[in-house]
Each structure stands twice: as structure tokens, then as C-alpha cells.
Amino acid sequence: MNGFRKFMMGRYGGDQFGMALIILSIILCVVFLFVPLPYVSLLSWIPLVFAIYRMFSRQIEKRQAENYAWLRKWGAVRTWWWNLKNRVRDSKTHRFYQCPECGRKLRVPKGKGKISITCPECGNKFIKKT
């Protein structure tokens, strides 16, 4: 074990982007099991080889920048998905409106008739039917 530890000293190792590449490789491998074209399954090895290259790389700053860019993009996707999931869940009891001034999304209860909605961001008041 100490030999591997010494080998990895000064190398980047694993991170979230590497794990995503490995998961992508596994998904592609399973998908290409059902594609009868020859040599297409070799495409599933590309993300895996890139993930291994990143793990053993000595260019730590570049790998950290790649991981940071991945986390920013993945965080935006996760936030979008989380907001969509919450909006679908709340659609039975609430209506969603956008403030005409600042564009912030506002959630108001359904079935209240015409109400005055005040945006907490900019203080703009507008009337909508719920």
C-alpha cells in the first residue's frame, strides 16, 4: 500500500468530474450492448480513459479548474431540476407568477381570486387572479 501511496504523491487523484466520467462510461457501455454495430462499444472507453488520465495527472491546477467548471455546470443543472421538481409538486396548491419589474418567480396560493402580489425583491405590486 505504501508503494501506491508513494506513486500517487504529487498526482491529482479522483474528484467529482472523474466520477461523472466513470458513470458516463458505464452508462454508454450498457447502451452500446443493445447497438449491433461493430466497434461502437469502444466509444464507451473514451470517458473511462480520460478519467484515469485525470487521476494520474501531475497538472493539479488544470485538473482542479476542470473539476470547478464541471461543478458549476452540474450545480446549475441540479438547481434547475430541483426547482422544476418543487414546482410540479406545488402546482396543485399554488400558482407561479413572474414579477414584471425584476423577473423573480413568485409563488402564491391557488383559489384566492384576484389578489395583490408584492414582490419581495423589488417591492413592485401587481394584481393577478389565482
CA dist 37 and 39 (Å) reads 7
Question: Residues 87-112: what's their mean pLDDT?
Answer: 89
CA dist 106 and 94 (Å) reads 10
What is the pLDDT of the chain when averaged over all its residues?
A: 91
The pTM (predicted TM-score) of the whole model is 0.71
| pLDDT digit string, tens, across residues 22-75 | 999 999 999 999 988 888 888 999 999 999 999 999 999 999 999 999 999 999
Nearest to 17 by CA among 58, 89, 86, 70: 70
